[in-house]
A and B are shown apart, each in its own frame.
Chain A
């Protein structure tokens, strides 16, 4: 991110991604075209990866979130990237990343209840190349919308 204006645009859109470019232009005392150009640059260079709506998961029937930490077999047939690709297409998995440390992959999934949690565990453990699975259920009132939208 390069300019103070970029930061202002990001701040406005982080607060409300639907803010119109015209409104941002007014607030920053710039032309709408300038805002559009900066926004396009921010998107093209990868600073902004996209935008999304934040939903209250409890209101749509999800009681909690579970973290699954996956160990991958040291087998040449499958690698972490392929497993990651499979995981990210599975319903209810909302975050996935490769990690270095205790485990190889971390995924976060939204869960309806304990039975659902078990089903997801089984589904993940059945993916080719998954050697071991450690899981935890989150029981706190997680803050949605931290500095970066991750959950």
Chain B
């Protein structure tokens, strides 16, 4: 996938929106010393380029009744990774799955109302005949999200 060309105005837009997606265009325009129209045009350009796919909320799952968050590291029979991934995607509570290279084959993140429900989910995963082992890690305290840690500046150096 080719990297897209972006400049300092684009980076300022992305940085502001990473911190707060509701940042006013006028504030970004002031920071960049350009017109609001320019910022709006740039924002649309970033969407068109596919760099910005969406804007969304950062929610606390625990405040929405999902008290327990955990990740499962799953070891499966070698030819069955896709089959197990498809199976996992159908399980309520699983919010993320991916094929993984390393100690185990699949990494998934799940939410549940309580420990009992999370344990049931683990057993459901284990019950699949192609699953060899499931390791569970329960997330404690507030998990930290830092989308602003994406490095954007190298893109700039490349295109200058």
Residues of A within 8 A of B (CB): 1, 10, 13-18, 45-62, 65, 67, 69, 84, 88, 90-103, 106, 110, 134-140, 142-151
CB-defined A-B contacts under 8 Å, sample of 25? A10-B59, A13-B57, A14-B56, A47-B63, A48-B57, A51-B21, A51-B55, A52-B19, A53-B147, A54-B54, A59-B1, A59-B4, A60-B155, A94-B146, A96-B144, A99-B139, A101-B137, A135-B102, A137-B101, A138-B101, A140-B100, A145-B56, A146-B109, A148-B111, A149-B145
Given contact pairs A55-B147, A88-B144, A136-B100, a sample of 10 additional A-B residue pairs in the complex whose CB atoms are under 8 Å apart? A1-B63, A48-B57, A49-B59, A52-B17, A52-B19, A55-B52, A96-B143, A106-B139, A135-B102, A139-B100
Q: Mostly helix, strand, loop or mixed at chain A's interface? A: mixed
The yes or no answer to B135 lying at the interface (CB within 8 A) is yes
Q: Residues of A contacting B6 with CB < 8 Å?
A: 60
| A100 B52 Cβ-Cβ under 8 A | no
Task: Determine the distance from Cα of A84 to Cα of B145 in the docked complex, in whole angstroms.
Answer: 12
| B149 A46 Cβ-Cβ under 8 A | no
| A149 B150 Cβ-Cβ under 8 A | no
Q: Residues of B contacting A145 with CB < 8 Å?
A: 53-54, 56
Task: Determine the distance from Cα of A96 to Cα of B57 in the docked complex, in whole angstroms.
Answer: 18
Question: Which residue in chain B gives the minimum CB-CB distance to A7?
Answer: B64
Query: Nearest Cβ in chain A — how far from B54, in angstroms?
Result: 4
| A51 B20 Cβ-Cβ under 8 A | yes
| B59 A99 Cβ-Cβ under 8 A | no
| B54 A16 Cβ-Cβ under 8 A | yes
| A136 B101 Cβ-Cβ under 8 A | yes
| A60 B3 Cβ-Cβ under 8 A | yes
Residues of B within 8 A of A (CB): 1, 3-4, 6, 14, 17-22, 49-61, 63-64, 66, 69-71, 73, 85, 95-104, 107, 109, 111, 135-141, 143-147, 149-152, 154-155
Task: Determine the distance from Cα of A28 to Cα of B86 in the docked complex, in whole angstroms.
Answer: 37
Q: Residues of B contacting A106 with CB < 8 Å?
A: 71, 137, 139
Task: Knowing A53-B18, A54-B52, A91-B149 are in contact, say whether A97-B57 is a contact too (CB < 8 A).
Answer: no
Taking a contact as CB atoms closer than 8 A, the residue among B64, B111, B146, B151 that contacts A47 in the complex is B64
Query: Nearest Cβ in chain A — how far from B75, in angstroms?
Result: 11
Question: Which residue in chain A gives the minimum CB-CB distance to B109?
Answer: A150
Q: Residues of B contacting A18 with CB < 8 Å?
A: 21-22, 55
Query: Nearest Cβ in chain B — how far from A43, in angstroms?
Result: 10
Question: Which residue in chain B gives the minimum CB-CB distance to A51?
Answer: B21
Question: Which residue in chain A gives the minimum CB-CB distance to B135?
Answer: A102
| A59 B56 Cβ-Cβ under 8 A | no
- The residue among A98, A143, A148 with the most chain B CB atoms within 10 A of its own CB is A148
Task: Determine the distance from Cα of A130 to Cα of B102 in the docked complex, in whole angstroms.
Answer: 20
Question: Which residue in chain A gives the minimum CB-CB distance to B71?
Answer: A106
Query: Nearest Cβ in chain A — how far from B153, in angstroms?
Result: 10
